[in-house]
Amino acid sequence: MPETDKTASPSRSPFRRPQFRWKTDPTFYPTARLAMESPQERYAYVTAIAPDHKSRTDSVFVVDVRTSSGSFGKVIGQIDLPDFGDELHHFGWNACSTALCPYAPHPHLERRYLIAPGLRSSRIHIIDTKPDPTKLEIVKTIEPNEVLRRTGYSRPHTVHCGPEGIYVGALGAPDGEAPGGIFLLDHYDFNVLGRWEVDRGPQELAYDFWWHLCQDTLITSEWGTPNKIENGIDPEHLLSSGYGHRLHIWNLRSRKHQQVIDLGKENQMVLELRPSHDPTNTFGFAGVVVSLEDLSASIWLWKRNDGKWGAEKVIEIPAEPADPQILPPILKGFKAVPPLITDLNLSLDDKWLYVSCWGTGELRRYDVSTPDRPKLASVLQIGGIGRRTPHPSQPGIALNGAPQMVELSRDGKRLYFTNSLYAAWDEQFYPDGIGTWFVRAEANQDGSLKFDRDFFVTSESHRFHQVRLDGGDTSSDSFCYPS
């Protein structure tokens, strides 16, 4: 029977506590290979922000991605948040394939709830996707004071479903300064359990985190403190190497810091992390937004050798010279457009790496079958600060924004991506105002990419950010069994 959450306000919907299942959720996959063989996705859930934070509230959209459907490529559901100014950003599932890990099994959970933090408000919404996946419902709200009281953190960002709980990354402390870190929510009632770190060592800045579960290793990256992010990029802070440039290695079981990997102060903003999916592998990729030396962006490969973790640059993408007249004020003096790598995605077979270049307007596909020798396979162009490349469905309409959050289907054949980064940063790099879009492309076995001309979703009221696919996707799940 549904049970009301006594910690929720009376205006919120009653919280349905997860029920034990007699059979394992079919969307929990023991291996990455089995995930690739699972049924095709039907719906995409997309976070959507109200850019001005006051004329309307943020939303989560439901988009039909079934090619045979009469509503293919259309918004078929939407839930509006009750409060203004949340700024939805990243979000994730309450449970996934990690529930099958042998050292902390939770096979009776189900993939049902989307955990959606407000990056600006520190409020977390628990959104039910069942019984009708197109009719979403907020069933619990964790207010900011509860997050702060139990963890000491604010600005929750990344959400990953872990073996023993729901991991949530936070960018900073309540005053907008460091440290940032990780806290856990309970799998069953979504109570805030507390801060994850037992010994943080020298770690202060935070952003993404991922893990190698079978090696008891967690890896974190660095962006900046909320005070240096929320009002846009701070040019002086950037030029003084004030943003993050390190990776941190942790013991996942003891929750203690073990090692720092410094990529160099010139490599500013180490953001997205994508580890290998096969648990027998010990490598992954990290994206660096910009180099102070030449405005290039880069991808770094981390790996473990002889028990020690290290990283090396394996991809560098140069800046593009541009007429200052077409550049936003923040770039005019540089006379160039930086690539600005803002997201990565790695296929479940660990073969293909996808890279979003939010400055130049490119989505790049690399063959990483040999991880330390990536090969560029194809490039899609759309939007961009200088190019404004149109979508093939509307060849006469210039687009702004550029590939930002990218998601890949479990079978690796369909690529989804959006074009808004973060409201304050959108205004700095695209000051004419981002016209939002959500697109899909075919990822072919020969390495080529091709836009789906029939999939071009827009909104007049919101800007699209992260995408989640029903049944899981390539950045939502981790696996404890070799393929």
Residue 115 has a pLDDT of 98
Q: Among residues of the chain, what percentage have pLDDT more than 70? A: 95
CB 17 within 8 A of CB 3: yes
Q: What is the mean pLDDT of the chain?
A: 95
Of 318, 355, 316, 342, the closest CA to residue 429 belongs to: 342
Residue 245 has a pLDDT of 98
Who contacts 476 (Cβ-Cβ below 8 Å, separation ≥6)? 92, 93, 96, 161, 468, 469
Residue 119 has a pLDDT of 97
pLDDT in tens, 211-239: 999 999 999 999 999 999 999 999 999 99
- Which stretches does DSSP call E strand in 318-447? 320-321, 336-337, 341-346, 352-357, 362-367, 375-381, 406-408, 414-418, 437-443
Is the pLDDT reported for residue 13 higher than 70?
A: no
Going by pLDDT thresholds of 50, 70 and 90, the confidence category of residue 294 is very high
Going by pLDDT thresholds of 50, 70 and 90, the confidence category of residue 43 is very high
Is the pLDDT reported for residue 369 higher than 90?
A: yes
Is the pLDDT reported for residue 297 higher than 90?
A: yes
- Calculate mean pLDDT across residues 54-79: 97
Residue 106 has a pLDDT of 82
Buried/exposed code over 107-125 (b: 16+ C-beta within 10 A; e: otherwise): ebbbbbbbbbbbbbbbbbb
CB 379 within 8 A of CB 365: yes
pTM, whole model, 2 decimals?
A: 0.95
Residue 264 has a pLDDT of 98
Going by pLDDT thresholds of 50, 70 and 90, the confidence category of residue 107 is confident
Going by pLDDT thresholds of 50, 70 and 90, the confidence category of residue 61 is very high
pLDDT in tens, 156-192: 999 999 999 999 999 999 999 999 999 999 998 999 9
CA distance 287 to 403: 14
Domain 32-469, architecture per CATH: 7 Propeller (2.130)
Residue 308 has a pLDDT of 93
Going by pLDDT thresholds of 50, 70 and 90, the confidence category of residue 390 is very high
Residue 372 has a pLDDT of 98
Residue 379 has a pLDDT of 98
Going by pLDDT thresholds of 50, 70 and 90, the confidence category of residue 2 is very low
Is the pLDDT reported for residue 5 higher than 50?
A: no
Of 419, 413, 410, the closest CA to residue 439 belongs to: 419
Going by pLDDT thresholds of 50, 70 and 90, the confidence category of residue 19 is low
pLDDT in tens, 263-283: 999 999 999 999 999 999 999
CA distance 403 to 412: 18
Other CB atoms within a 10 A radius of the CB of residue 478 amount to 22
- Calculate mean pLDDT across residues 321-326: 96
Residue 1 has a pLDDT of 31
Please classify residue 84 by burial: count the beta carbons closer than 10 Å to its beta carbon, then call 0-12 exposed, 13-18 middle and 19+ buried. Answer: middle
- Calculate mean pLDDT across residues 66-77: 98
Is the pLDDT reported for residue 4 higher than 70?
A: no
Is the pLDDT reported for residue 334 higher than 60?
A: yes
pLDDT in tens, 245-263: 999 999 999 999 999 999 9
Residue 16 has a pLDDT of 54
Q: Which two tokens stand for residue 389?
A: 């490349």
Residue 6 has a pLDDT of 38
Q: Across the strands, what pairs with 365? A: 354, 378
Please classify residue 410 by burial: count the beta carbons closer than 10 Å to its beta carbon, then call 0-12 exposed, 13-18 middle and 19+ buried. Answer: buried
Residue 103 has a pLDDT of 83
